[in-house]
Amino acid sequence: MSTSLWFPVGRIVPAADLVGREEFLQEILARIRAGEGVVISAPRRTGKTSLTLEALRRLRSEGWLVAHVDLLRSPNEAQLAEQLLDAVLENETGVRRTLSKLRQLTSHIAGKLELKAQTKEGLELALAYAATPPDLEAALEAGNNLAERTNRTICIAFDEFQRAPQLRPDAYAFIRSVLQHHQRAVYMFLGSQGTLLEQQFTRVGSPFWNFAVVRALPQVRPASWAAYLQRKFTEFGHPIDHVIAEEMAARSGGHPHCTMVLANQFLLALFSRRDLPQHLLLAAAYDAALDDLGATYDELYRSLAARSLAQETVLRLAREQPPYAAKADPTAVRRALQHLINQGIIRRRAKGSFDFCEAMFQAYLLRETDGP
């Protein structure tokens, strides 16, 4: 059961609110149990991290060692090494940020060796790591080492893995060269820039070629959203009609983050204007949700200025015009389209036609550029 009074936004989704992911989760878990590495690639805020943490939680309850590291949290190689070691060691020590706590502790204890003699495998390893500056190779080995020493298996998830080359230019080749020897570790790689990360695993000759299977996160089905929304609004004491629930899922395009933002605005509207018909409240909530998303969307649109024709092309698509304007250089438009795909903004529906990954981004562009 979720304990929150609101729909979860901008944070990890608790299991009870993870909508429409059970089937995909089962598939991912089956692959991992079979020892197969998995890449999950999807646009931003579609639930990669939440799904992965739920997968790890379940594996853990089956006796697996697990670890999750987020490359966005580590600006350099040494910090990634520390984060990874901490995540691995936490399995045994039960302590978050084991290494820094241990360093504090050992600086007060003269007889370090006595402490070492009393501890479990993991803590013994931790002492060894705490004594030396973090080293990425050692950190990459730690999970598999711990699994061997404890006769278990470990699943390690690298979140925002597309950032690896920013920590170290040869990161992909280096990490692969270490991980490929591991017999007791299975790896997950998550990335938000679809194609670019995928290429590392699918292009012949790339460092991670064939190392893990690439799975795109499927869209949550409208029926799953509608059922969830009806259940939650009833739990919150504001039951809603199924037509309204379906309308909400349709207007958000089923994008997980957008749907949750819209659901919160609708809940707020129901709290304050219960007397009004729900379809009117939904229209107002939709506008307020676009305002909530506005800052992110403005930033996203601004970031496109760096690419020739990207802003023009995304606006044409928002207006459902063909992307190739009469006077535009077709090669430049093709590059702009590819950039929009790489950024997870649009996806190809059929040859020459595209969908927005976030229907509300499209609506926002229309509202802001074609408004009164």
Ligand X SMILES: Nc1ncnc2c1ncn2[C@@H]1O[C@H](COP(=O)(O)OP(=O)(O)OP(=O)(O)O)[C@@H](O)[C@H]1O
**47 touches which of ligand X, Mg ion, none (CB within 5 to 8 A by kind)?**
ligand X
Enumerate residues 36-55 that contact Mg ion by CB under 5 A.
48-49
**260 touches which of ligand X, Mg ion, none (CB within 5 to 8 A by kind)?**
ligand X
The answer to whether 156 and 143 have CB atoms below 8 angstroms apart is yes
22 vs 329 by CB, closer to ligand X: 22
Q: Pattern of binders to ligand X over 28-47, x per CB under 6 A?
A: --------------x-xxxx
19 vs 357 by CB, closer to ligand X: 19
**191 touches which of Mg ion, ligand X, none (CB within 5 to 8 A by kind)?**
none
* CA triple 356-361-366, angle to 5 deg: 100
**278 touches which of Mg ion, ligand X, none (CB within 5 to 8 A by kind)?**
none
Q: Pattern of binders to ligand X over 200-229, x per CB under 6 A?
A: --------------------x---------
How far is residue 17's CA from residue 232's CA, in Å, rounded to a whole number?
9
Residue 289 interacts with ligand X (CB under 6 A): yes or no = no
Nearest approach, Cβ of 145 to ligand X (angstroms)? 28
Residue 360 interacts with ligand X (CB under 6 A): yes or no = no
Q: Which of 37, 122, 134, 256 binds ligand X (CB under 6 A)?
A: 256
Nearest approach, Cβ of 95 to ligand X (angstroms)? 25
Residue 343 interacts with Mg ion (CB under 5 A): yes or no = no
Residue 83 interacts with Mg ion (CB under 5 A): yes or no = no
**102 touches which of Mg ion, ligand X, none (CB within 5 to 8 A by kind)?**
none
11 vs 349 by CB, closer to ligand X: 11
Residue 372 interacts with ligand X (CB under 6 A): yes or no = no
**81 touches which of ligand X, Mg ion, none (CB within 5 to 8 A by kind)?**
none
> Residue 8, Cα to own-chain centre: how many angstroms?
15
Nearest approach, Cβ of 115 to ligand X (angstroms)? 38
Nearest approach, Cβ of 49 to Mg ion (angstroms)? 3
Whole-angstrom CA distances from 114 to 14, 288, 291, 358 are 41, 61, 60, 57
Q: Which of 1, 3, 5, 11 binds ligand X (CB under 6 A)?
A: 11
Q: Which of 55, 179, 240, 260 binds ligand X (CB under 6 A)?
A: 260
Residue 1 interacts with ligand X (CB under 6 A): yes or no = no
Indicate the residue whose CB is closest to Mg ion.
49
By CB under 5 A, name the binding residues for Mg ion: 48-49
Point out which residues bind ligand X (CB under 6 A). Answer: 8-13, 17-21, 42, 44-50, 192, 220, 256-257, 260
